[in-house]
Amino acid sequence: MMRPHDPAKAKEQVVTRKVIQDIRERISSWKEHATVVTGRHGSGKSVAVHEALRGLPGTFVHTVDNAGWKDILYKELHLDGAGMLKELFNRVATELQKDPEAPSKVPILVLDIPRETTEGMPLVSNFAKEMSSDRLGAAVHVIVCASSAGTAMTFDAGGSQRQVNFWVEDLTEQEAQQLLELEGHGQDWKQFVAA
């Protein structure tokens, strides 16, 4: 968890967007409560989250894609169960506190919820609330990246006072042009945008 987050997409392939900076600011100023990132299909939610996390130590991304997601999380982190999770996060936080360059002084747990995941949001909501607010005393910043806006709407960590929501808008015309240029279709951008 202490290695800097390294997204699959190279930095040079990512369109510069305000939402990325907004998420980074949330991360660097975070004190408590879950962060929820959602938007329409294809709006770039996952790219925005991963780019905001680029280079940050203490970050772990976990996909919530079935009912056994918590057990899989513990296994991926080489933990015996929930009791060891608090200890892990406390140790990571101790290391982050020692790093004057770390923008976040607490570990970040990203719960990536694919579009196909349609059940279990109350469990995800409770888990995020407990980790970011209650049980662990804000020992970990939980970021929920919900691929489906409908799924995100069912997420409830205790109302707006216990979660901060980010809606990733569709690409602007300028952002679409930049993306097409990055993909080698810069000369055709008007045709794509008009479609």
pLDDT tens, per residue, the chain with 195 residues:
678 899 999 999 999 999 999 999 999 999 888 898 988 888 899 999 999 999 999 999 999 988 889 999 999 999 988 788 888 998 999 999 999 988 898 999 999 988 777 666 777 878 888 888 755 566 789 998 987 666 666 666 666 777 888 889 988 888 878 888 888 777 776 776 666
Which tokens belong to 164?
């901060």
Strand partners, 162: none
Within 10 A of 120 (CB to CB), how many other CB atoms are there?
19
**Per-residue pLDDT at 154:** 63
> Does a structural domain hold residue 192?
no
Domain that holds residue 136: 11-170
> Does a structural domain hold residue 5?
no
> Does a structural domain hold residue 118?
yes
Contact predicate 7/110, CB 8 Å: no
> Does a structural domain hold residue 123?
yes
> Does a structural domain hold residue 116?
yes
Contact predicate 139/106, CB 8 Å: yes
Strand partners, 141: 108
Alpha-carbon radius of gyration of the chain? 17
> Does a structural domain hold residue 40?
yes
> Does a structural domain hold residue 182?
no
Domain of 17, CATH number, reads: 3.40.50.300
> Does a structural domain hold residue 55?
yes
Query: What is the domain count for the chain?
Result: 1
- pTM exceeding the 0.85 threshold for the entire prediction: yes
